[in-house]
């Protein structure tokens, strides 16, 4: 069996594939043309790809009939054309679960960092502007006992809510297409029947929905205007869920107080003006980037491939 890994990843999964006697070829960040050429050149039985790879019908056709599975090295799979995969009988998998704690931690780090003006304070120190303690300097916002709005109560959203309630005595309000009364009881959380209810009531709003046609620009100028003037927006899911140009305008105008983003609408670029805003914190899509978690993702993606190539149903199949 021959496996193509489209980018270098931590070695746990590579070792696992090797232990099965599979030949593993590690690519060097292919663009689409290069990936098609590589797949057409050789016969691969499986591909381990990631969110940089836009996997569509052309890619599947270049891979050919012997290629059974494309295992995405990510929990999100908006880069995969699931319909084209299903039409060709190709299995698509992702890596859920193993990154939940890490992404929830990063989300909370962003909440604390934007509320306590950490990045601004760091820049201030490095610029030699600190000349002694001042009662009015860099005043931030308390997180404890405030209301956290969660948009999307999946694994990660629920974990962020857990930290908010148990660690910071926050009140949680959430929107999700599916109401979860058990969660409400456990965390004293309130269900917002519409996204707008959560936006209007929250001091911090954290986005945890997948990128789908229905969630693209879910947060637009109109919805930003519904948020409290002193509220913060946090996004560790997918960039296009927020209209980033509208967000820059809202941050400039003081429509909301701040934003902390790990994902961007047109990665790796940021919307014009975002980098200059003091009331924004930006990290380069690293919410799942700890050594342990990236190894676990590598192992899970490899496990999905092994299951498929040995004729079993992989644990993390995704369907459209």
Does residue 216 have an active-site annotation?
no
Nearer Cβ to ligand DGY, position 73 or 174? 73
The answer to whether the CB of 281 falls within 8 A of the CB of 263 is no
Helical residues (DSSP H) of the chain, grouped into ranges:
11-19, 32-41, 57-63, 82-88, 100-115, 118-126, 155-162, 168, 181-187, 195-201, 221-224, 244-253, 291-309
Nearer Cβ to ligand DGY, position 203 or 244? 244
The answer to whether the CB of 275 falls within 8 A of the CB of 282 is yes
Q: Please report which helix (H) or strand (E) contains residue 232, including its range.
A: strand 232-235
Sign, CA dihedral 99-100-104-105, equals negative
Supply the minimum distance, in Å, between the C-beta of residue 103 and ligand DGY.
7
Greatest alpha-carbon span in the chain? 68
Binding segment toward ligand DGY, per CB under 6 A, in 72-80, 199-207, 246-254, 301-309: 72-80
74 part of the interface to ligand DGY, by CB under 6 A: yes
Supply the minimum distance, in Å, between the C-beta of residue 280 and ligand DGY.
19
Supply the minimum distance, in Å, between the C-beta of residue 213 and ligand DGY.
18
CB neighbours of residue 42 within 10 Å: 13
The catalytic position among 238, 257, 294, 307 is: 238
Supply the minimum distance, in Å, between the C-beta of residue 54 and ligand DGY.
14
47 part of the interface to ligand DGY, by CB under 6 A: no
Nearest-angstrom CA–CA distance, 317 and 79 = 15
Total number of residues that touch ligand DGY (CB under 6 A): 6
210 part of the interface to ligand DGY, by CB under 6 A: no
Nearest-angstrom CA–CA distance, 279 and 149 = 19
Rg over CA atoms, the chain: 21
Nearer Cβ to ligand DGY, position 16 or 263? 263
Residues 82-141 binding ligand DGY (CB under 6 A) are 99
The catalytic position among 105, 184, 190, 267 is: 267
Supply the minimum distance, in Å, between the C-beta of residue 285 and ligand DGY.
6
76 part of the interface to ligand DGY, by CB under 6 A: yes
Does residue 285 have an active-site annotation?
yes
Residues 259-288 binding ligand DGY (CB under 6 A) are 288
Does residue 267 have an active-site annotation?
yes
Nearer Cβ to ligand DGY, position 247 or 301? 301
Nearest-angstrom CA–CA distance, 75 and 63 = 23
Nearest-angstrom CA–CA distance, 175 and 141 = 24
75 part of the interface to ligand DGY, by CB under 6 A: yes
Nearest-angstrom CA–CA distance, 191 and 155 = 16
Nearer Cβ to ligand DGY, position 140 or 210? 210
Which residues form the catalytic set? 238, 267, 285
Where on the chain is the footprint of ligand DGY (CB under 6 A)?
A: 51, 74-76, 99, 288
């Amino acid at each position: 069996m021959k496996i193509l890994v489209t980018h270098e990843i931590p070695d746990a999964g590579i070792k696992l594939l090797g232990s099965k006697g599979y030949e593993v070829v590690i690519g060097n960040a292919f663009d689409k043309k290069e990936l098609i050429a590589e797949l057409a050149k050789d016969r691969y039985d499986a591909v381990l790809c990631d969110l940089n790879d836009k996997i569509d019908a052309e890619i599947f056709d270049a891979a050919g009939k012997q290629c059974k599975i494309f295992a995405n090295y990510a929990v999100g799979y908006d880069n995969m054309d699931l319909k084209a995969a299903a039409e060709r009988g190709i299995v698509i998998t992702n890596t859920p679960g193993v990154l939940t704690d890490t992404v929830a931690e990063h989300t909370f780090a962003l909440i604390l960092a934007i509320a306590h003006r950490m990045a601004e304070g760091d820049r201030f120190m490095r610029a030699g502007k600190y000349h002694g303690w001042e009662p009015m300097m860099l005043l931030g916002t308390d997180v404890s006992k405030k209301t956290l709005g969660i948009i999307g109560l999946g694994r990660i959203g629920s974990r962020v809510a857990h930290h908010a309630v148990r660690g910071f005595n926050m009140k949680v309000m959430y929107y999700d297409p599916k109401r979860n009364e058990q969660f409400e009881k456990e965390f004293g959380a309130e269900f917002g029947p519409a996204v707008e209810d959560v936006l209007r009531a929250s001091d911090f709003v954290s986005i945890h929905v997948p990128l789908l046609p229905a969630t693209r620009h879910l947060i637009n100028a109109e919805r930003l205007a519904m948020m409290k003037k002193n509220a913060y927006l946090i996004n560790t899911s997918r960039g296009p869920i927020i209209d980033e140009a509208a967000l820059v305008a809202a941050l400039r105008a003081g429509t909301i107080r701040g934003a902390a983003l790990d994902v961007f609408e047109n990665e790796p670029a940021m919307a014009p003006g975002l980098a200059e805003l003091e009331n924004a914190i930006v990290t380069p899509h690293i919410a799942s980037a700890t050594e342990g978690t990236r190894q676990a993702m590598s192992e899970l993606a490899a496990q999905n491939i092994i299951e498929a190539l040995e004729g079993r149903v992989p644990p993390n199949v995704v369907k459209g």
